[in-house]
Amino acid sequence: MENEMNNKELRSLEQMIAMLGDMVQEAMTVPLSGGKCIVERERVLDILEDIRVSLPDELKAANSVLDARMDIIDSAKVEAENILKEANRKAMELVDANNITVEANHKAKDILTDANNQAAAILTDAQNKSREMLGKAEARAAELRKTTGEYLDSTLQKSMEAMSGSLAEMKKIHQQIRAVSGKM
């Protein structure tokens, strides 16, 4: 479903870029302007704003992954601190409650060791998960940047070819006008 949503977003971006290309191709050229054309400023600005709004979704997702990674690490640290505090509290209770100080010390050390091992395991797991999530987000963002870049390059090339053809046609018309004017 995620891939389907990304494909829809990419198609929407492609459609907006195609609309810009169509606008340039269909735009009226300004005589003697070196191939410049007239486009509806507001419409072009609206389309560009739609493109700008559409692009950051993947970037927001990458930022969200980074935030989630920090939240996981922070949560793991807090949990580790709580485990250590609880272990220390239990150790102190054992020492205060009984005359068996040696046994209490051994239990406290075991609890602290277990707590440290659990905290280290939680932290390692959180770091591994966040690295994996970040890697996936970076790969997806790179893929989208590449695809969008290729599409933009292709559209720009087509637009430039269309403008070049329009310019050649304008020159041809200009020469015909000169030829007709010279006969008069």
Structure tokens at 127: 């770091």
CB 59 within 8 A of CB 42: no
Residues 6+ apart with CB under 8 A from 85: none
16, 51, 23: which is closest to 37 by C-alpha?
23
Low-confidence ranges of the chain (pLDDT < 50): 1, 5
Structure tokens at 169: 């046609």
pLDDT at position 59 is 55
pTM score, whole prediction:
0.34
pLDDT at position 33 is 79
Helices (H), the chain: 2-26, 41-54, 56-97, 101-183
Domain count, the chain: 1
Look up residue 35 and give its DSSP letter.
Answer: S
> Residue 20 belongs to what domain range?
2-183
CB 151 within 8 A of CB 17: yes
The three-class DSSP label of residue 28 is strand
Find tokens 């020469």 and name the residue.
175
Tens digits of per-residue pLDDT, 58-86? 656 776 777 788 888 888 788 888 888 88
